[in-house]
Every structure is written in structure tokens, then in C-alpha cells.
Amino acid sequence: MSGCFRCNLTIPERQSHIAVKKGGKCARSDGSAEFIESNTRTTPGDMTERGCTYAGCRGVVGGPVKDVIQLTHGPVGCAFFSWGYRPHVADTDFHMKYTFISDMNETNIVFGGEKRLLQSIVEAAQEFPDAQGVFVYNTCSTALIGDDGRDVAKQAEALIGKPVVFFECEGFRGVSQSAGHHVGNETIFKHLVGSEEPVGDTSTAINIIGDYNIKNDLRTFEPLFEELGVRILTRFTGNVSVNDLKSMHRARLNVVHCQRSATYIAEMMHDKYGTPYIDVTLFGIQAMSAALRKVAAFFGLEAKAEEIIARELGRMQSQLDYYRHRLSGKRIFIYQGAPRAWHWIEMFRELGMETIAAATTFGHQDDYEKIFERIQEGGLVIDNPNVLELEEVLETYKPDLFVSGNKEKYVAYKLGVPFVNGHTYDTGPYAGFSGMLNFARDIDRALTSPVWKLLHTNARPVPEQLHALSDAT
């Protein structure tokens, strides 16, 4: 079926982004022997769900830093998604509660917005003296008129006496939000990392790289690493202070969770400071156990790791068996930004469920390689799907569950497909051992909700049904 998406008859370019796993390999739906196409520009006319570079930088990498003024240099519309979208929570709520914008209007666009930006930074810093710095994010319009935000940031820094970091993350720079992750990593590395020395012993210090503390994910695994005997120096960037980012270069090991948005900084630290890094998955039982074992092996703490793993598994075993029994055999369609699509195929497998289709918004080749390794034979894989494709998969493959984000939630509901929010979580957290049970519980609730029994009508009747309806009245 992947060769003939009905909705793509007018956009044949989409076929190189759609494939199935055949004989253990990627079989593209356009018949080409090449690997699935990814991380390329979206075809004009294709209603992509991708975000922009600014979104990836402001929303994903910079936004979770809890004690800086998060200031967008651009028109007010660019700040629209500052609230209520990504729950990268912390132990304080300044970064979630307030958003700042230079609020560029037509006159500023014509005459330049540098003065306005400088004034905005200074005003915001005066208004919030407890903030430890300012992160300024560039947008399309201010980049196009040539505002020199870098220079303004320098001037502002001298005036307020705190770091002012300018992110050149104008929306049009890349093909998706993925470019914004890269800009975020590079800018933080260049401007902050290494500018301060940490306090205390760093002989067992690790950084958690690429975890943003979505609905307190960090709480599920940080205590386990600490129990192991390591010190968590810095989290890049969940529940983190800008000051912690300055001293993260003294970690002995970087532990990289999201390998799409944050491997960049691990690489840069490796090149400049020689810090080794390991890739881990902190979702699911096997993966979480493996992560503890890998970190333990690095520091020679293997026995403690086994003790922790045995205790945690013992604690959750009966609940896990309960959910496994209920969820076994269910068929999943997962569509996430990128890594979660492959992180979670294993988690579904541990719960006895099978992934019949997997898609990502902005995955690169390495993400798809991992998806093809993990998805079952015959599984469908889609890069950068549009909503019509998603609908077609839901209607044709009829998965038991769709795991995706807010944008797709109501499409699933309208089509009568149970849904779990994999981006911002239904309840969460979903990481670590305890998060696995939350995940299983949310899936179980979605699948067994009594609402599905009430669905007698087709919310999107086909034309013949519409005729039948009008005949009846």
C-alpha cells in the first residue's frame, strides 16, 4: 500500500520519503534502491507539520533554561507558542511563566530594530533583577532586515553585567526545527561552556545531555544515577540554570539521551575538552538498565548498578505483568519528532505491542537507520508526513493506538483511534523505570476508555452515507 498513497497523487515527490521494511531493509515506495529520503526541504504545496529553526532553538534547546529572560527579537506572532506547548518543567517556573519579545512593528522593520532590541533587553533585565542572563532569539524578519543582534547583545551585556546570548536561529535557516537544535548547541557551547569552574569534586561528574525534563522525566532517573555514586553536574537543558551550563566542561562523561537535538554539544566537548560521551536510551526497562550499566562501567560501579536494577525491576514486576497481559498484541502507529520514534519501538515491544508504522517530523538518516533496525518486518516508515498521509495510515492500517502530539490528537479522535500524547505526555513522566509504568497506564486508559463504545457514527461520512442520511430525512 505504501506505493500508492491516494493523497500523494499530486505530490509524487513524497514517495521517496515513504518506505517499508522488506527483507530487513528499507524498500522505498518509489522503487528506488536508495535509503529513505530525510532532512531535505519540504516540497512546496506539501502541508508539512515541521517547525522552523527558531522553534527548535527557542522552544527545544534554549527555552528550558530556567533562570534567563527568554527574549524573542521579532514580531509578536513569533512568541505565540511561548506558553502551554512543551512542558520542560523545572523547580522554578520563571521560564515557563514569562516570555519576552522586542515586538517589532512595521516602523521598526523599515528603520531597523537594534535600538528597540537593546531597550527591550535592558528593560527586561531591570524588571526582573533575579534573572541570571538573557537569551535572545533571532527571527526571520529581523534577520532579513539585517539587524546586528550580536552587536546589540554585546552592548547589552556591558550594560546589565550579565550574559546576553544571541542565537542566530532565524526561522528560514534550515529545513526544519532540527537546524535550530544545532544553532542552540553551538551558541551555548561557544558563549557559555567553559566560562566558569564548578564548585566541589568532579571526579565522578556526568552531564545529562539531551533531556529537557518533559513533565519531570529527570526525576525518574536522576536519583538512580546519584545512587550509583555519580554526580550530575549539568543537565543540557532540562531544569538547568545558565550558570550550570558555564561549568559543564568539567564533567568526566557526557550521557546523551536525545541523540538528535544534543549530540552536537557532546561532540564539541569531546573535541575541545576530550570529554567522552555515551549514547543511552532512558525509556523502557532494558534501555534504562543498559544506561545504568554503561555509566557504571565507566566509573567501575558495576555491582551497585546491578543492585539498583534488581531492586527497581522487583518493585515494578507485578504491575508490568498486569499491563503486558492487557496490552499484548496491540498494534501501534508512532509519529514523533525523531528519536522517540525509535526509542519507543523497544518500549512497546517490552509491553508486548508491535509497531506497524513509524514516522518522524525531522529525523536524519541515523534516526531512520535505527527505526529500520527496530521496526518489525513489513513496518511502514514515513519521513515528514503531512496530515493527509497520517489520516490515510490511520484509515488503511487501522492501528489500535496512535502515539503522537497535540497537532494529531484530534485527527485520531475524529477517526475513532485511541491516542496517547508522546510529546507532552498524557500524564507522565514516561522516562526511567517508574515512567514506563505511567506510559503503560496511559496506553491502557486510552485503549480501554468507554468512549470508544459510544462511537456509533462515522464522524467523516463518505458521500454515499451523506446521501443515505439526506434520503432518510
Cα separation, 43 vs 397, whole angstroms:
25
- Residue 440's Cβ-count burial label (10 Å; 0-12, 13-18, 19+) is buried
CB of 212 to ligand CFM, least distance (A): 5
Contact between 174 and ligand CFM (CB under 6 A)?
A: no
CB of 358 to ligand CFM, least distance (A): 11
Sign of the dihedral defined by the CA atoms of residues 419, 425, 428, 433, in that order: positive
Cα separation, 277 vs 255, whole angstroms:
6
Cα separation, 351 vs 325, whole angstroms:
8
Q: Is 325 labeled as catalytic in the residue annotation?
A: no
Question: What's the DSSP call for residue 431?
Answer: S
Among 28, 86, 88, 293, which one carries the catalytic annotation?
A: 86
- Choose, by CB under 6 A, the member of 340, 370, 399, 428 that binds ligand CFM: 340
Contact between 338 and ligand CFM (CB under 6 A)?
A: yes
Q: Measured from the CB atom, is 240 or 305 closer to ligand CFM?
A: 240
- Choose, by CB under 6 A, the member of 136, 214, 228, 371 that binds ligand CFM: 214
274 within 8 A of 394, measured Cβ to Cβ: no
Contact between 386 and ligand CFM (CB under 6 A)?
A: no
Q: Measured from the CB atom, is 295 or 338 closer to ligand CFM?
A: 338
Contacts with ligand CFM: how many residues (CB under 6 A)? Answer: 14
Q: What is the 3-state secondary structure (H, E, C) of 319-343?
A: HHHHHHHHHCCCEEEEEECCHHHHH
Span interacting with ligand CFM, options 22-30, 301-309, 312-320, 334-342, rule CB under 6 A? 334-342
CB of 281 to ligand CFM, least distance (A): 10
Q: Is 7 labeled as catalytic in the residue annotation?
A: no
Among 181, 182, 235, 257, which one carries the catalytic annotation?
A: 181
Span interacting with ligand CFM, options 22-30, 255-263, 391-399, 429-437, rule CB under 6 A? 255-263
Cα separation, 292 vs 137, whole angstroms:
36
Contact between 374 and ligand CFM (CB under 6 A)?
A: no
Q: What is the 3-state secondary structure (H, E, C) of 148-183?
A: CHHHHHHHHHHHHCCCEEEECCCHHHCCCCHHHHHH
Q: Write each residue from 60 to 99 as x if it is in contact with ligand CFM (CB under 6 A), else as -, in one continuous string.
A: x-------------------------x-------------
Q: Measured from the CB atom, is 280 or 308 closer to ligand CFM?
A: 280
Core vs surface per residue 376-402: b (16+ CB within 10 A) or e: eeebbbbbbbbebbbbbbbeeeebbbb
Contact between 52 and ligand CFM (CB under 6 A)?
A: no
Contact between 336 and ligand CFM (CB under 6 A)?
A: yes
Q: Is 52 labeled as catalytic in the residue annotation?
A: yes
* Total residues found in the chain within this entry: 473
Which residues are within 8 A (CB) of 213 and not within 5 positions of it... i.e. 6 or more apart? 64, 88, 89, 90, 235, 238, 239
Q: Is 26 labeled as catalytic in the residue annotation?
A: no
Among 19, 26, 52, 143, which one carries the catalytic annotation?
A: 52
Span interacting with ligand CFM, options 75-83, 337-345, 377-385, 388-396, rule CB under 6 A? 337-345
Cα separation, 424 vs 346, whole angstroms:
20
Among 55, 262, 296, 412, which one carries the catalytic annotation?
A: 55
Cα separation, 180 vs 279, whole angstroms:
21
- Choose, by CB under 6 A, the member of 62, 339, 385, 429 that binds ligand CFM: 339
Contact between 212 and ligand CFM (CB under 6 A)?
A: yes
Give the interface with ligand CFM as residue ranges (CB under 6 A).
60, 86, 177, 212, 214, 258, 260-261, 336-340, 423
Catalytically annotated residues: 52, 55, 86, 181
